[in-house]
Amino acid sequence: MGYRFSDLTAACQSDWRAYLEHDFVRALGTATLDEDAFRHYLQQDYLFLIHFARAYALAAYKSRTLADLRQAHEGLKAILDVELDLHVSYCREWGISEEKLQALPEARATLAYTRYVLDAGSRGDLLDLHVALAPCVVGYGEIANWLNEQPSTVRGNANPFDAWIAMYESDEFQSAMRAELEWLDARLAEASPARFEELCTVFRDATRLEIDFWQMGLDRSL
């Protein structure tokens, strides 16, 4: 029996839980997160999405099959034609103009994670790239599900961050997460033990950089 994505998270369990259950995430769920911290996160996440789009363009370049090429194209199209527009609109609701977004400096945590993903994909293959992106693609969906399991999570108008949770618990995002898990499971099943260890390193590093991204939001640091 081959490896699965769950084997990656099991191998990096302490980092994975620290990411999913970070203080930023907990405060977001309990509606106690400082709103300026959330605004800072939203602004940096806009910059992250731009590099996320670049990562899907790299995935297209790295694709060896028509199916993988189409998947990369759909991911790139979704970010450029849908997600970035939605993000800009959401930022506007938080008093952040598109002009301000376009003039933002990148925080060190944003630089570190996005460039790590692009580097992992450049020096590795398509699976390396997907594994580096997995903490975001899979993690955000799991975070929404984890928040909904917590009795302390506040939903509805009582939580100013409710729309963020709703975005990642949505059928559309959860479906995309499941499709990514299926893709990862199929490729990981073919990995040798030595290759799996390499991928564990990529996944662990990416997860730690995601932890730093949450902390950046919490600290409002650049």
CA neighbor of 7 nearest in space, from 207, 205, 197, 180 = 197
Percent of the chain with pLDDT over 90: 67
- Measured over the CA atoms of residue 97, residue 44, residue 163 and residue 5, the dihedral's sign is positive
pLDDT for res 99: 86
Q: Find, among 10, 6, 37, the residue nearest to 213 by Cα.
A: 37
- Determine the pLDDT at residue 177: 87
Mean pLDDT of 93-101: 88
pLDDT band at 135 (very low <50, low <70, confident <90, very high): very high
Catalytic residue among 91, 136, 180, 200: 136
Distance of alpha carbon 207 from alpha carbon 131, whole angstroms: 10
What's residue 1's pLDDT? Answer: 58
Of 23-32, 97-106, 125-134, 196-205, where does mean pLDDT reach its minimum? 97-106
**Res 168: pLDDT:** 87
Q: How much is the pLDDT for 151?
A: 94
142 annotated active-site: no
- The model's pLDDT over 2-57, given as tens digits with 9 standing for 90+, comes to 899 999 999 999 999 999 999 999 999 999 999 999 999 999 999 998 998 999 89
Q: How much of the chain, in percent, has pLDDT values that exceed 70?
A: 100
Q: Specify whether 12 is catalytic.
A: no
Total residue count of the chain as it appears in this document: 222
Q: What is the mean pLDDT of the chain?
A: 91
pLDDT tens per residue across span 63-96 = 889 988 988 888 888 788 878 888 888 898 888 9
Active-site option among 12, 91, 180, 210: 210
Q: What is d(CA 71, CA 77) in angstroms, rounded to the nearest whole number?
A: 10
- CA gap 55, 5 in Å, rounded: 20
Q: Output DSSP code: residue 94.
A: T
The reported pLDDT for the residue numbered 215 is: 95
- Tell me: pLDDT of 211 over 80: yes
Tokens of 167: 């975005």
Q: Picking from 84-88, 143-147, 215-219, which range would have the lowest pLDDT averaged per residue?
A: 84-88
Query: What is the per-residue pLDDT for 6?
Result: 95
Closest CA to 159 of 27, 36, 37: 27
